Amino acid sequence: MDFFRGDDKRAVEAKEEAQKIAWAPFVFQTAKALKALGILKIVDQAGEEGYTTEQVAHHSNISRYGARVLLEAGLGSHIFYLTSDDKFALSKTGFFILRDEMTNVTMNFVNDVCYQGLYYLQDAIINQKPEGLKVFGEWDTVYEALNDLPPDARESWYAFDHYFSDVAFSEVIPRVLKHKPRMIYDVGGNTGEFTEQIIQADHHVKVTLIDLPGQIRTAKEKLNGQLDNRVYFHPIDLRDQEASFPTGADTIWMSQFLDCFSEEEITSILQRAKGALTDDGNLHIMETFWDRQRFEAGAFSLQQLSLYFTTIANGNSQMYHSKVMINCLHEAGFYVEEDIDQVGIGHTLLTCRKKR
């Protein structure tokens, strides 16, 4: 990955990028308003012919002034382009803001979960705690707050989390099951989506879902009627280094889980996982590492997402470089047996075993 090596921009290009950064909050809110007010859809329906400001104002039922300022801001943001007769038409970028699921899931997450809290980023860095979480209430981490977040924030959080993980499950489940596990620990199982899929894929395997008490309650509700004496629950706060795993797993699964912890916490969790795993068992870790992305936009997105962890989630974790995670594995007494990139949407699957 060579996305970030060197600095070959001319001064005028670099200054242009700096201006885009300075005005970035305006661009985001413009895109959000254009979509929410139906303007993107209206202009899209006009096709390549485009619409005038007056036509957009009429069809969207907003003032001519409102239509004009939003259209012009969208023009500078390359959401629209001008036709030969100076009408506004939807650009390719505008098309993706209107219709692309990934873009919309991300925008909702940024707006509903992160936007207000990011104001406290500097405080979070200095105090090493998620200072932005206070916009929702008084909690130590977002995870214990999930069930009490405002409905929009809660819905956007879960939608973002599931969008980027669930699409990969169908790819990785055959790899998890190829060693014929009898007991899988789904660590950080959240709402139980992976547990649900894997017990449907194998009618003999048993699963213990391990997570915070609030997430356990949510998972139980989701899995109601599907338990069939094959799903067990173990509520635990793994930030507590004295909290241990139950023993007896021949497979441990962690998906988008370890990025919720600091390096020291990750090593501690992995050490405890090692103690719970049979000697010939497998540890599967699925994570999105910013250095393993196929496209620069993927790496950029993960680097920015780290600041959500800093400001909102917990104050001490991030989306890691793969070398950091692999180093934690080695320190905890594991080695990586198999390392597969480009699983799902930019995920990496690490299959690990205990060092002898």
286/179 same-domain check: yes
pLDDT of residue 225: 67
pLDDT of 349 above 90? yes
| Digit-coded pLDDT (tens) for 212-262 | 998 898 888 888 766 678 999 999 999 898 888 999 999 999 999 999 999
pLDDT of residue 226: 64
pLDDT of residue 356: 83
| Digit-coded pLDDT (tens) for 191-220 | 899 999 999 999 999 999 999 998 898 888
191/294 same-domain check: yes
| Digit-coded pLDDT (tens) for 6-59 | 999 999 999 999 999 999 999 999 999 999 999 999 999 999 999 999 999 999
How many CB atoms neighbour CB 95 within 10 A? Answer: 14
pLDDT of residue 177: 96
- Residue 247 falls within a domain, yes or no? yes
- Residue 72 falls within a domain, yes or no? yes
pLDDT of residue 285: 98
pLDDT confidence bin for 167, thresholds 50/70/90? confident
- Looking at 80, 99, 118, the residue that finishes a domain is 99
How many CB atoms neighbour CB 147 within 10 A? Answer: 13
- In one-letter notation, the amino acid at residue 224 is N
71/187 same-domain check: no
| Digit-coded pLDDT (tens) for 252-289 | 999 999 999 999 999 999 999 999 999 999 999 999 99
pLDDT of residue 165: 80
- Residue 1 falls within a domain, yes or no? no
CB distance 104 to 294 below 8 Å: no
- Residue 154 falls within a domain, yes or no? no
Percent of residues, the chain, with pLDDT higher than 90: 87
Could you list the residue range(s) of the whole structural domain that residue 184 is in?
Answer: 164-354
> Which CATH number does the domain housing residue 277 bear?
3.40.50.150
Q: Coil, strand or helix: which one is 140?
A: coil
- Looking at 99, 122, 140, the residue that finishes a domain is 99
Domain count, the chain: 2
Percent of residues, the chain, with pLDDT higher than 70: 99
CB distance 278 to 248 below 8 Å: yes
319/236 same-domain check: yes
- CA dist 209 and 205 (Å) reads 13
Strand partners of residue 121: none
